[in-house]
């Protein structure tokens, strides 16, 4: 993005792809500021001039932010966006049209915007934000420059949030929110969440991380019950099933942290590092792999109860030394 600014190569359409809460919208606004700032500093926006302040407060006529009012962008919204693309900038060099949740463009609205996104006026830049690029019409994807955003690390989240989140809260908030800064800030106000996190850890340790785990069916039911205690604030288009799936993934992320703490050595050169330590590390790797595969299955839409039962069976086989290494072609 900085290279585009320095070289003056500002493409007509950008596609920001990445999970929620990692800065896609913030970057889009910062990029618009940098392009339209009349007195840039070292190639970036000054942040204090009237133009920068208007963008920061969401009142700049040349930087417009759109989001679907319902499950998807309606025809009337697509027509408004298309018409706005041809209105010359009020004061800035470029007009920026930022579409949040661009994957909510249905076939009708996407086709209405296709020609405009492909060949907009030279003064217009589209920035499409999405967590699910595969749901965007291929013809729109092919006409946009994709920019990938990765999840933030815990250290990066703490740097962004500063003193707004106490360090003792960061560990469990990061796992439950999966690095989404906005969700972490919201959940940090929940006084009971730390107690819930500790309860989940205790329950998992009692039911799963013991020599003989609970029966697969019983364990799956108890994990679903634990997930039901996580009070996610659903998106507008989240069904009850989607909300439960997110909560289950949060519980499994907590399980990953527990496994890393219980099975993985903190460093080399341990005095007692021998066959027993190596065997325990191998078991830990197998358990971690099993949980990560379960997360992928649940996120991919697999039946939750079956995925959890399969995980529990693998855990029992590992604990009893009957685990068969998975092979790939």
The per-residue pLDDT for range 284-304, each reduced to its tens digit, is 788 888 888 888 888 878 888
Whole-angstrom distance, CA of residue 97 vs CA of residue 129: 11
Q: Cβ contacts of residue 99 below 8 Å, gap of 6+? A: 66, 67, 73, 81, 105, 126, 127, 128, 129
Q: Bigger pLDDT: 254 or 62?
A: 62
Q: What is the DSSP letter of 100?
A: T
| Res 231: pLDDT | 63
- Write down the pLDDT at residue 209: 60
| Among 2-6, 46-50, 166-170, 233-237, the least confident range | 233-237
Domains of the chain, with CATH numbers?
2-148 (3.40.50.300), 190-319 (no CATH)
Percent of the chain's residues with pLDDT above 90? 35
43: left (phi over 0), alpha (psi -120 to 50) or beta: left
pLDDT higher than threshold 70 for residue 233: no
pLDDT tens, position by position, 259-272: 777 776 544 444 44
Which pTM does this prediction carry?
0.64
User: 192-225 pLDDT, tens per residue?
Assistant: 667 777 777 777 677 666 666 567 887 788 788 8
The neighbouring-strand residues paired with 98 are 65, 127
* 54-96 confidence digits (pLDDT tens): 999 999 999 999 998 777 899 999 999 999 999 999 989 999 9
- H or E segment and range at residue 125: strand 124-130
Provide the pLDDT for residue 208. Answer: 63
Q: Are 129 and 25 spatial neighbours (Cβ–Cβ below 8 Å)?
A: yes
- N-to-C CA span, the chain: 39
């Amino acid at each position: 993005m900085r290279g585009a600014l320095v070289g003056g190569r500002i493409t007509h359409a950008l596609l920001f792809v990445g999970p929620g809460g990692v800065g896609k919208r913030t970057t889009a606004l910062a990029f618009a500021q940098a392009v339209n700032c009349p007195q840039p500093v070292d190639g970036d926006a000054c942040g204090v001039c009237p133009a920068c302040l208007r963008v920061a407060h969401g009142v700049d006529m040349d930087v417009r932010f759109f989001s679907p009012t319902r499950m998807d962008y309606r025809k009337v919204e697509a027509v408004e966006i298309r018409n706005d693309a041809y209105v010359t900038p009020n004061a800035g060099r470029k007009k920026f049209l930022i579409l949040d949740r661009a994957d909510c463009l249905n076939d009708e609205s996407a086709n209405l915007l296709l020609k405009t996104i492909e060949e907009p006026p030279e003064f217009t830049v589209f920035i499409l934000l999405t967590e699910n690029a595969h749901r965007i019409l291929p013809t729109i994807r092919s006409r946009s420059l994709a920019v990938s955003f990765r999840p933030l690390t815990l250290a990066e989240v703490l740097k962004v949030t500063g003193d707004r989140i106490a360090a003792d809260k960061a560990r469990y908030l990061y796992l439950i929110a999966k690095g989404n800064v906005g969700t972490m800030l919201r959940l940090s106000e929940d006084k009971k969440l730390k107690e819930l996190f500790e309860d989940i850890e205790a329950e998992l340790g009692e039911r799963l991380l013991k020599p003989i785990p609970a029966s697969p069916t019983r364990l799956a039911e108890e994990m679903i019950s634990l997930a039901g205690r996580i009070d996610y604030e659903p998106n507008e288009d989240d069904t009850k099933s989607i909300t439960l799936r997110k909560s289950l993934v949060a519980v499994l992320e907590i399980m990953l942290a527990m496994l890393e703490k219980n099975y993985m050595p903190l460093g080399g050169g341990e005095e007692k590092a021998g066959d027993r330590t190596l065997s325990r590390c191998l078991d830990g790797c197998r358990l971690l792999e099993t949980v990560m595969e379960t997360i992928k299955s649940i996120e991919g839409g697999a039946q939750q109860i079956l995925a959890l039962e399969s995980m529990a069976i693998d855990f029992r086989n590992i604990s009893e030394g009957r685990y068969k290494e998975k092979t790939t072609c």
